[in-house]
Amino acid sequence: MLSRVLLLFGFALSAAAASAATMYEYIIVGSGSGGGPLAANLARAGHSVLLLEAGDDQGDNVNMSMILNFNLAGNDPTTRWDFFYEHMTWRTKDGGFYVGTSPPAGAKQLGIYYPRAGTLGGCAMHNAGVSALPQDSDWNYIARITGDDSWKAENMRKHLIKLENAEYAPGSNDHGHSGYLTITQTPVVLANGSDDRTFVQIMADATGAGRVSLDQLVTRDMNANDPNRDTSTGIFGTLRHSDSQGRRTGTNTYIRATVRDPAKYPLTIQLYSLVTKILFSNSSTTPTALGVEYLQGPSLYSADPRYNASAKGKVGQAIASREVIIAGGVFNSPQILKLSGIGPAEELKKFSIPVVVDLPGVGTRMADNYETSIIRLGSRDLHNVGGPYAVMLKSSVANNTRDLYLFCGALSFEGYWPGFPKDYGHSEYECAIVHIGPHSQAGTVLLRSSDPRDMPEINSHFFDKNADTDLTAILDGVKWARNAFDRVPKGLGPWKEVHPCPSPNTNCTDVEQKEFIRLQAYSHHATSTCQIGGDNDKMAVLDSKFRVRGVKNLRVVDGSAFPKVPGAFPVLPTFMLSEKATESILADIK
C-alpha cells in the first residue's frame, strides 16, 4: 500500500494511479464536511478507506488555515472552483471578468458567481466558519417524512456532542469537549468608548434587551440545549469552527490527524483524482456499486481557473468491497450520479448515458437561503471594532420560529463576484441578512454534457414561488437594521447608506427595496439535490440511511442529502450529518 503520508501531500500519485486493482472496504468521493469526517471515522473504526479528492492539500496555505482570511480563501486560485448561476457575471474577450448588466462587446455570460473549494477539506476550507445549529424542526422534519425517529432533534444532539470541542462553553454537559471540531466565539470589543460597544448597545435596545449586560449578550450560546432556543431573538455570540488562535478546524485537520496518528488507521488519501463514474455490477437483479473510475492529474475539472482542456489526465479505477460513498457536494454529487446512469431517464438518454436507475429527483429541488445586506458609511472612521455578532429575529411573516439571522459588524460583504468584496473604507458598517427557511425550492443541477470535466448547468430559480413572502421577510430585516442604525449618536452619524436605499434617496419605497433584494440576493448555502425522503416520495433519492434508492452499496453523504436547507448555515449540520452516516454505516455491518 502506498505511503499515506506521501499521498496526503500529493506525492507518489503516479504509483497510486497504477494501483487500479487495489481494493478498499470503503471508497469515499469528496473530502468536505460530509465525506472528510466520514472517511476519518470509518478508518478509526478499523475499516480500510480510500478518500478521493479532485484537488490538492492547501491546509498550510494561510488563506485557508486562518478563518478570518475567508475572503482571500474564496478568491484563491489554488483552491477555487468557479461555478456560475444563470446571470450577472461575464467573461471578457481578454479572459477577465465583467460584473454588472452592461457587459462589453464580445463578453460571454457566465452567471452569478458561486465559488466552491476544490481542495482537501472541501468548502469547509474557504467558508466563514459560522457554526450554527438548525432549528429542531429541521431535524424533526426528516424524521417525519422518513418515519425514522433517529433523526429527531433530541436524538441528533449526541452527534454534535461527539464531534465538537466547544472551547467557548467549558464544563457544559450540553456540549462536547473532546471532538475534532473546535468551536469558538468571535470576540467583540466592548471596552468603554469602543464603537462596538455603541453598536451592541443600540442593537440591544432595539431588541428589547437593553437591561441585560452587553458581555452576556455577545456571549449568548446560539447552540444552547434550550427548548426555547428556536423562538429566542436578540443578540448572540457568533460561533466559528476555529481555535482560539483563529486557525480553521474541521475537515482538513481531522483528516490529517487521522493519517498521522501513531495508531496507523487504514485511511488512504488520493489527491488530484476526479471521479468520472461509479462502476456497477449487474450480476444480480439490483445494480451493485463495485467501485469508481477517475481521472488523475491536477486541475482536470473545468471549474478550476487553472483548467487546461488539453490535459486529459490518467484513467484509474478503485474497487470497494463494502460501499461507495459519494460526497462531492450539492453540484458534483448529482453530476456524478447522473454520469453513472442514476438520475432522470430522459436527461440521461439525451447524453447517451445508459440508465442504471431512473431517479427523477437527482439534481432537482435544490434549495438555498436568500442573503442580502444593508451597508452604511459613518461620518467618521470607526474605532475599536472586533468580529461580527449575531442578531436573531422573527419577521412579520414568520411562523413560530425565528427566520432571520443577521451578522453585524465593521465589514463589507455583498455577495460573490470575482475579486469580492468591495472595500468602502474604515467607516463601513454592515448587517448581512440570511433568510432562514425560504419558501421556494426549485433549483436544478443539469448535465451540460457527458464529459465529467464539464461543469453542470446550475439554475437557482430564486423567488420562483412565494416570492413576496420571502421578500417581505428579508425587507423586515433590512428595516430593523436601518432603524437601529438611525439611533447612533451624532458624530458617528449621520449615515450614508450604500444600499438598498443609496443616499440621498433615503425614502425609497418597499417596492423599490424588494426589487433590489430580488435582483441582488446572493447565497452560498445550496443543498438538497440528492434528497433524503420517504418511500412514498417518487422524487426522493436517498432513504433515511443515506442509501441511494434502487441500487446496492451506494450512499450519498453531504449537504445534497438534506430535504431543505438546515437553518441559516449548513456547515455544522453537515458535520452532524457525517456523524449520523457513520452511525448508520457501522450499524449495517453488525
The model's confidence at residue 2, banded by pLDDT at 50, 70 and 90, is very low
Secondary structure of the chain: what % helix, strand, coil (to 5)?
25, 25, 50
CA distance 103 to 81: 23
How is the beta sheet containing 164-166 ordered, strand by strand? 164-166, 181-185, 239-240
Please tell me whether 127 is known to bind a ligand.
yes
Look at the pTM and tell me if it is higher than 0.85. yes
Residues 373 and 512 in one domain: yes
Cell of 115: 465559488
Residue labelled with grid coordinates 443600540: 202
What's the pLDDT at 170?
A: 95
DSSP 357-402: EE-TTTT-SBB--EEEEEEEE-SS---S--S-EEEEE--TT--SS-
Residues 376 and 516 in one domain: yes
Cell of 92: 471578457
What's the pLDDT at 83?
A: 61
Residue 408 in domain: yes
CA distance 240 to 302: 31
Residue 72 in domain: no
**Nearest to 82, CA basis, from 68, 96, 94, 93:** 96
Residues 438 and 456 in one domain: yes
CA contacts within 13 A on the Cβ side of 262: 0
What's the pLDDT at 425?
A: 92
What's the pLDDT at 100?
A: 65
The pLDDT tens digits for 247-282 are 999 999 999 999 999 999 999 999 999 999 999 997
Alpha helix positions (H), 240-368: 251-260, 329-339, 345-350
Residues 440 and 572 in one domain: no
Q: Is 66 exposed, middle or buried (0-12, 13-18, 19+ CB in 10 A)?
A: middle
Please tell me whether 193 is known to bind a ligand.
no
The model's confidence at residue 75, banded by pLDDT at 50, 70 and 90, is confident
Residue 132 in domain: no
What's the pLDDT at 84?
A: 60
CATH of the domain at 396: 3.30.560.10
The pLDDT tens digits for 500-546 are 999 887 789 999 999 989 888 888 889 999 999 999 999 999 999 99
What's the pLDDT at 104?
A: 84
Residues 502 and 358 in one domain: no
Residue 179 in domain: no
Structural domain of 463: 187-237+369-520
Domain boundary residue, one of 520, 547, 564 = 520
**Dihedral pair phi/psi, residue 307, rounded to 5°:** -60, 135
Question: Dihedral of CA 173/178/179/185: which sign?
Answer: positive
Cell of 239: 460561533
The model's confidence at residue 380, banded by pLDDT at 50, 70 and 90, is very high
Residues 461 and 583 in one domain: no
Residues 356 and 490 in one domain: no
Residue 231 in domain: yes
Residues 191 and 218 in one domain: yes
At residue 117, the 3 state secondary structure works out as strand
Residue labelled with grid coordinates 443543498: 527
Residue 117 in domain: no
Query: What are the residues whose beta carbons fall under 8 Å from the beta carbon of 208, sequence distance 6 or more?
Result: 234
DSSP 398-460: --SS--EEEEEES-------TT------TTEEEEEEEESS-S---BEEE-S-S-TTSPPEEE-
CATH of the domain at 334: 3.50.50.60
At residue 342, the 3 state secondary structure works out as strand
Domain boundary residue, one of 461, 492, 520 = 520
Query: What are the residues whose beta carbons fall under 8 Å from the beta carbon of 232, sequence distance 6 or more?
Result: 226, 392, 402
The pLDDT tens digits for 128-143 are 889 999 999 999 999 9
**Other C-beta atoms within 10 Å of 80: how many?**
22
Please say if the pLDDT value at position 478 is more than 50. yes
Percentage, residues of the chain above pLDDT 90: 72
Residue 574 in domain: yes
What's the pLDDT at 19?
A: 44
**Does the N-terminal peptide bond of residue 500 adopt cis geometry, omega within 30 degrees of 0?**
yes
Please say if the pLDDT value at position 361 is more than 70. yes
Residue 18 in domain: yes
Please tell me whether 292 is known to bind a ligand.
no
Residues 267 and 345 in one domain: yes
Please say if the pLDDT value at position 111 is more than 70. no
Total domains, the chain = 2
Residues 199 and 288 in one domain: no
Please tell me whether 362 is known to bind a ligand.
no
Please tell me whether 59 is known to bind a ligand.
no
Residues 414 and 340 in one domain: no
**Dihedral pair phi/psi, residue 161, rounded to 5°:** -60, -35
Residue labelled with grid coordinates 491536477: 298
Please tell me whether 410 is known to bind a ligand.
no
The pLDDT tens digits for 415-432 are 777 777 888 999 999 999
Residues 389 and 515 in one domain: yes
What's the pLDDT at 422?
A: 86
The model's confidence at residue 112, banded by pLDDT at 50, 70 and 90, is low
CA distance 263 to 265: 6
Domain boundary residue, one of 497, 520, 543 = 520
**Dihedral pair phi/psi, residue 487, rounded to 5°:** -90, 0
The pLDDT tens digits for 189-239 are 898 889 999 999 999 999 998 889 999 999 999 999 999 999 999 999 999
